[in-house]
Amino acid sequence: MVNIGIMSFAHMHADSYAACLNTLPDACLAAVWDDNARRGRAKARAFKTRFINKLDAFLASDLDGVIITSENVKHRAMAEAAAAAGKWILCEKPLAPTVEDARAIVAACNKAGVGLGTAFPCRYALPLMEAKAKLDSGEFGAVYAVACTNHGQAPGGWFADEELSGGGATMDHTVHVADLLRWMLGKEFTRVHCELGNQLHKKTLKTDDLGSLNLEMEGGIQVGHLASWSRPVSYPTWGDVTLEIICEGGVINVDAFNQKLTVYDDKAKRVNWAPWGDNPDLGLISDFVEAVRDKREPSVTGIDGLRATEVTTAAYASFRTGTAVKI
């Protein structure tokens, strides 16, 4: 049995990861620690595990690995402590809000000899996996350009507090698409020009809620990306991840979360989308559990998280300077 602990339930994805752990026959959500003790105790009860109040005691317990789902700026300190305790680590995206912190996390895990993964579950969405297989087969030839989106609802809370998140919608959403394109195309980003806006939630948010990015990848591949917190509360789901990949031999259109049924809920007085397809979070957590058991690096590595952070921070630097920034 692989014993996994969760460090903080500040991030909404923690609930899904905990539920995934409780469905795996060879894994156990063995403990929860949270710097918000009230929240930590409530989540431990909800997922039928123990809450450990002291971080030192949590890391000294019989855990094989930990999942870090705290506020972005706390990732580095938690990861360094977990690495020093010899625990395998899966860290929520972005790996860190700064390149300096992301590099420090990677270095700490290398020094301790522990595996480090970044939580990019979109790699485990079947439509995206099939699109990558098409690209790998060579059937569509060279890739010339990509148009992509990652739109979502405004999460509020610490996500909209730059001191805790490092940025707004562009920080929250660009890392997903940056990671997907690096993975699918096998190329690195070289340049970015970015425009940011706070146009949708001026009265409630101080961070950017819209980001328009023009990027270039190795080989001259042109990428247009829109990141936003533009979905209203009444929208049937949190948002989207879409790609339009323009190739030598055709165009590949991908809607990553289109495996769904439309449900008219009279009781709730709204329309919902009920997913029927695969669970990307389960794929991510299953791989992490296997990595801990086999003492290997998770498939989505800390370096992958670092590279996505480099793209995102370059986007913010571009906005501040008004110029394109090399990555």
* Same domain as 127, residue 94: no
* Same domain as 291, residue 253: no
* Same domain as 33, residue 93: yes
Give 135-181 pLDDT, tens digit per residue: 999 999 999 999 999 999 999 999 999 999 999 999 999 999 999 99
Contacts of 242 (CB under 8 A, 6+ apart): 148, 149, 253, 254, 255, 256
Rg of the chain over Cα atoms, rounded to whole angstroms, equals: 19
| Distance in angstroms (rounded) separating the CA atoms of residues 249 and 113 | 44
User: Does 286 have pLDDT greater than 90?
Assistant: yes
Do strands 116-119 and 88-92 pair parallel, antiparallel, or not at all (unpaired)? parallel
Give 71-113 pLDDT, tens digit per residue: 999 999 999 999 999 999 999 999 999 999 999 999 999 999 9
Give 292-326 pLDDT, tens digit per residue: 999 999 999 999 999 999 999 999 999 999 999 99
Residue 270 confidence class, pLDDT cut points 50, 70, 90? confident
* Same domain as 85, residue 162: no
User: Does 287 have pLDDT greater than 90?
Assistant: yes
Nearest residue to 315 via CA among 189, 218, 206: 189
| Distance in angstroms (rounded) separating the CA atoms of residues 219 and 188 | 9
pLDDT at site 275 = 86
User: Does 202 have pLDDT greater than 90?
Assistant: no
Alpha helices in 221-279 (DSSP H): none
Neighbour-count burial for 178-211, b at 16+ CB within 10 Å, e otherwise = bbbbbbbbeeebeebbbebbbebbeeebebbbbb
Give 5-19 pLDDT, tens digit per residue: 999 999 999 999 999
User: Does 237 have pLDDT greater than 90?
Assistant: no
Q: Write the CATH number for 83.
A: 3.40.50.720
Share of the chain above pLDDT 90, in %: 91
Residue 269 confidence class, pLDDT cut points 50, 70, 90? confident
Residue 278 confidence class, pLDDT cut points 50, 70, 90? confident
Work out how many domains the chain is built from and give that number.
2
Instruction: Report the first-to-last Cα separation within the chain, whole angstroms.
Output: 42
* Same domain as 152, residue 87: no
Give 37-58 pLDDT, tens digit per residue: 999 999 999 999 999 999 999 9
Q: Write the CATH number for 191.
A: 3.30.360.10
Burial label for 218, CB within 10 Å (0-12, 13-18, 19+), is exposed
Domain residues for the domain of 217 are 123-278+309-326
User: Does 268 have pLDDT greater than 90?
Assistant: no
Residue 31 β-bridge partners = 5, 50
* Same domain as 271, residue 131: yes
| Distance in angstroms (rounded) separating the CA atoms of residues 239 and 227 | 11
pLDDT at site 127 = 96
Q: What is the mean pLDDT of the chain?
A: 96
* Same domain as 173, residue 222: yes
The DSSP-derived string for 151-171 is: EEE---GGGG-HHHHSSSHHH
Alpha helices in the chain (DSSP H): 13-21, 37-46, 55-60, 75-84, 99-112, 126-137, 162-165, 169-185, 280-294, 302-321
* Same domain as 136, residue 100: no
* Same domain as 254, residue 142: yes
User: Does 24 have pLDDT greater than 90?
Assistant: yes
User: Does 234 have pLDDT greater than 90?
Assistant: no
Contacts of 54 (CB under 8 A, 6+ apart): 33
Nearest residue to 71 via CA among 156, 165, 157: 165
* Same domain as 36, residue 128: no
* Same domain as 272, residue 171: yes
Contacts of 137 (CB under 8 A, 6+ apart): none
Residue 209 β-bridge partners = none
* Same domain as 320, residue 223: yes
Return the number of other C-beta atoms located less than 10 Å from residue 318's C-beta.
Answer: 23
